[in-house]
Amino acid sequence: MESLQRLRMSYEEYLELPDDVRAEYVDGEVIVTPPARLSHQKAEMRLGVALSNALPGLIVVAEAGLSTAPTRKRIPDLMVLEEADGDQIFAEETPLVVVEVLSPSTRNEDVFRKTVEYERAGVGQYWILDRDAGTLTVLTRGEDGWEVGLELSATTPRGEVAIGGHGTVPLDLEELLRP
């Protein structure tokens, strides 16, 4: 499967899907995504390591479920949580950080729909790594919605992001995107 698929089904049917199917649930629609490419997975892993190293007191998870609303279950590439019940399928706690590494099949979902959804769910920061454009955008919760907290690109490849009172994450875009 090379592209995203949308299927109508009940939440109960969604929960019965096999564990090896990567699928999100949004208002009666299941969004099935293809496996991520190796370059996507490498960038995701490097971001996860950077977050874990800089924030040892927090929980950094990859490909874990997040309940953003009663009828919306997402699977961000990475999440940073203060605490988590290891037996839950979907985290009910609001993440401090949600990270999406863009892929051709999920770009519109990640950039447009999830930006609004994560903001409404109270996520503290939304990081969007765009490997094609060579950018990392960190959106931070402001009084009137998202504000750009950091934008890394070829002209500004290094920076750091404060995660509340938990610590600061140094970031090197060239390292995140290296082959």
State what percent of residues in the chain have pLDDT above 90: 80
The CATH code for residues 36-177 is 3.90.1570.10
Q: What is the mean pLDDT of residues 157-168?
A: 96
According to the model, what pLDDT value does residue 174 have?
97
Angle, vertex CA 162, rays to CA 156 and CA 166, nearest 5: 150
Query: What pLDDT sits at residue 2?
Result: 65
Model pTM score: 0.94
Residues recorded for the chain = 179
In this structure, the strands spanning 158-162 and 97-101 are unpaired
Tell me the per-residue pLDDT of 94-127, one tens digit each, with 9 for 90 and over.
999 999 999 988 898 999 999 999 999 999 999 9
**Amino acid 55: pLDDT:** 97
